């Protein structure tokens, strides 16, 4: 029997409520994966919407050797001068061949870890990411698009794209499920096409 694959959701104070829900719920409900919450901050954390979260684990790489993927959830805190350094954890997951993903401000953590070097990626806008991380490694690979971008096992998205982020992370982790991802895309798209 194969061990259940695990996705770590990395949160810091002021995390964005809308950026992880589709990923976490889809991973567990539709694909039978396991999710765990991690944080370099002491719990409880408070989201932008005022929701409290107690992380399952710290962000120490020594306690997270079972992660098959990690998704850095956005927060204004990632743009702060005292943003936590989670590069050792992100690099450890990447070096094991895991999926490393960031959405919104979480993309800054990937940029700081050097994970965008030689990789197509996106964020909240070229000027936004360069304003916070001028000259980061791989800046020439930036794609100014409104949806998630996956390049191999590195996934990035603007904060306005939690749906494509969820699909891109899961697709990078479970490439054998192509038909199901097509169904997810169609389902998510119906929400918007029904309103036109």
Q: Which domains does the chain carry?
A: 6-193 (3.40.50.880)
DSSP state of 41: S
State mean pLDDT over 96-115. 98
pTM score above 0.75: yes
3-state secondary structure of 81: coil
Is 196 a residue whose pLDDT tops 60? no
Q: What is the pLDDT of residue 5?
A: 96
pLDDT above 70 covers what percent of the chain?
97
DSSP state of 145: -
Q: What is the pLDDT of residue 178?
A: 85
Overall residue count recorded for the chain in this entry? 196
Dump pLDDT digits (tens) for 1-45. Answer: 457 899 999 999 999 999 999 999 999 999 999 999 999 998 899
Is 60 a residue whose pLDDT tops 60? yes
Pairwise CA distance, residues 122 & 158, whole Å? 7
State mean pLDDT over 92-108. 98
Dump pLDDT digits (tens) for 119-155. Answer: 999 999 999 999 999 999 999 999 999 999 999 999 9
3-state secondary structure of 99: strand
Q: What is the pLDDT of residue 1?
A: 42
The residue written with tokens 């960031």 in the block is: 102
| Token duo for residue 152 | 């191999």
8 Å CB contact between 53 and 37: yes
Confidence of residue 192 (pLDDT cuts 50, 70, 90): confident
| Burial degree of 29 (CB within 10 A; 0-12, 13-18, 19+) | exposed
């Amino acid at each position: 029997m194969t061990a259940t694959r695990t996705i770590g959701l990395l949160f810091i104070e002021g995390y964005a409520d809308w950026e992880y829900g589709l990923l976490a719920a889809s991973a567990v409900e539709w694909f039978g994966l396991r999710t765990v919450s991690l944080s370099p901050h002491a719990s409880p954390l408070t989201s932008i919407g005022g929701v409290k979260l107690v992380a399952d684990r710290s962000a120490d790489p020594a306690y997270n050797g079972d992660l098959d993927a990690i998704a850095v959830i956005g927060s204004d805190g990632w743009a702060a001068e005292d943003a936590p350094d989670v590069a050792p954890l992100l690099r450890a997951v990447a070096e094991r061949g895991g999926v490393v993903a960031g959405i919104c401000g979480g993309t800054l953590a990937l940029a700081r870890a050097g994970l965008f070097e030689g990789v197509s990626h996106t964020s909240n806008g070229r000027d936004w990411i360069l304003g916070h991380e001028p000259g980061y490694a791989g800046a020439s690979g930036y794609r100014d698009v409104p949806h998630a971008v996956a390049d191999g096992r590195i996934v990035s998205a603007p904060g306005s794209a939690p749906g494509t982020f969820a699909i891109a992370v899961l697709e990078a982790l479970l490439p054998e499920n192509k038909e199901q991802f097509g169904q997810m895309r169609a389902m998510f798209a119906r929400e918007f096409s029904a309103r036109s």
